[in-house]
Chain A
């Protein structure tokens, strides 16, 4: 079993890189968009918060696979020339954005409104209040659950294999397609995903424990 794993390993690097690349792009995009939407949910007027709530509930209510299939097959019909990789990425990013926006909303709403009002009282603009008053305090509520969404992204990126993106998951399938020895490669793949995600989970747990001591 070990020798099959070692023989198959070199064929997985490329896929691993694609998984990491896809996850990194999605995590970055979802972080930026999610935080902006989270601010909109927490501080926006009804006309801003409502559409965001609708978007978030819609996206989070669908299975990720259904979202990926819909966007992957529908995007070309709009006439927009976009590659396989990017349309699959767009679907995953949309999904994670919705989740990050909820994490951001939770973190922002945990900050006492008085903090925001105090910032207003000394004449800070909205941007300044966010940047200097609310965000630094919300950060410790935001980080641990956000890292969990990063783990979900890496796990979710395995679904890109189903629309033909050669990520770690599909590379495993391709190697099995030649060797006809499924078990060693699946175990190896599981260990590779585990190594990435367990590290992230541990970081999240450490941060949570570290921040648990801070009490206002």
Chain B
């Protein structure tokens, strides 16, 4: 029997998809902000630190990067509360997982960024009498941000796509919205024919926005 396309049911529940998309973006945004704090913090910490600290940071990075995100999502939501004797809601659990996941990738990004600051720039800062704090604020950070911005942008888009995993915790993001419509109306083809472009277009717009941002922050050379 041929399958008849019927998009009406998808449009009827489209608000679930629209709000799902908004939540997906929110999850990714909060995830990357906390991830940046983790990543930058650990990169700075291990920059001049001793062996123990660097080994611990490396252990965190390697562990998180080599385990599936889905497993981490389950581990944080079901595993940790079961031994910790406390509970948290699915959304904050997922955001924390995403942040820890992003942090592990961003440590490397920030470390590379810190290493890529030209030595002469820091020497020049010292030569004009900047204090170490001023050196960080006015020389290291602005230089590093320009270097890491493209990688941060890619990480954000990648996190946006990873928010689809929140569906397993019934966080009502875009993929959850899609599966809700599917289980309630059985219009699977139509739902995914709408949801896939939503992910694609949003991802593409994010990419465009980030390229503009990079151009805005680029150093003008004459």
Chain A residues close to B by CB (< 8 Å): 58, 61-66, 69-70, 73-74, 77, 151, 154-159, 161-162, 169, 172-173, 176, 181-183, 186-187, 189-190, 193-194, 197-198, 201
Contact = CB atoms under 8 A, between A and B. Distances in A.
B168 A190 contact: no
Q: Mostly helix, strand, loop or mixed at chain A's interface?
A: helix
B68 A69 contact: no
A69 B175 contact: yes
Given A65-B164, A194-B63, A182 B69 contact: no
A204 B162 CA distance: 24
A61 B68 contact: no
Given A183-B83, A187-B79, A66 B69 contact: no
Given A63-B175, A201-B65, 19 more contacts: A64-B164, A65-B165, A65-B167, A66-B192, A66-B196, A70-B196, A73-B182, A73-B188, A154-B68, A155-B66, A158-B68, A169-B71, A176-B78, A182-B74, A190-B67, A190-B72, A194-B62, A194-B67, A197-B65
Most buried by B among A62, A66, A158, A162: A66
Interface in B190-222: 192, 195-196, 199-200, 203-204
A47 B97 CA distance: 43
Contact of A63 (B72, B80, B164, B188): B164
Contacts of A157: 68
A183 B82 contact: yes
B192 A181 contact: no
Most buried by B among A63, A156, A201: A63
27 contacts: A61-B200, A61-B203, A61-B204, A63-B161, A65-B165, A66-B175, A66-B195, A66-B199, A69-B178, A74-B188, A77-B188, A77-B189, A155-B67, A159-B70, A169-B68, A169-B70, A173-B74, A182-B74, A182-B78, A182-B82, A183-B79, A189-B71, A193-B68, A194-B66, A197-B66, A197-B67, A201-B65
Contacts, number: 107
B94 to A, nearest CB: 13
A193 B67 CA distance: 6
B86 interface: no
A74 to B, nearest CB: 6
B75 A155 contact: no
B74 A186 contact: yes
B198 to A, nearest CB: 10
Contacts of A172: 71
Contact of B75 (A63, A154, A156, A190): A190
Nearest to B162: A63
B62 A66 contact: no
Nearest to B75: A186
B91 interface: no
A163 to B, nearest CB: 11
B26 to A, nearest CB: 16
A67 B65 CA distance: 22
A190 B79 CA distance: 12
Contacts of B196: 62, 66, 70
Contact of B192 (A61, A70, A176): A70
B143 interface: no
Contacts of A162: 70, 168
A200 to B, nearest CB: 8
List of 8 A-B pairs having minimum Cβ-Cβ separation, nearest first = A197-B66, A158-B68, A63-B164, A63-B161, A70-B192, A155-B68, A186-B75, A186-B79
Nearest to B72: A190
B67 A65 contact: no
A162 B196 CA distance: 18
A186 B204 contact: no
Nearest to A148: B65
Most buried by B among A61, A64, A155, A169: A61
A161 to B, nearest CB: 7
A150 to B, nearest CB: 12
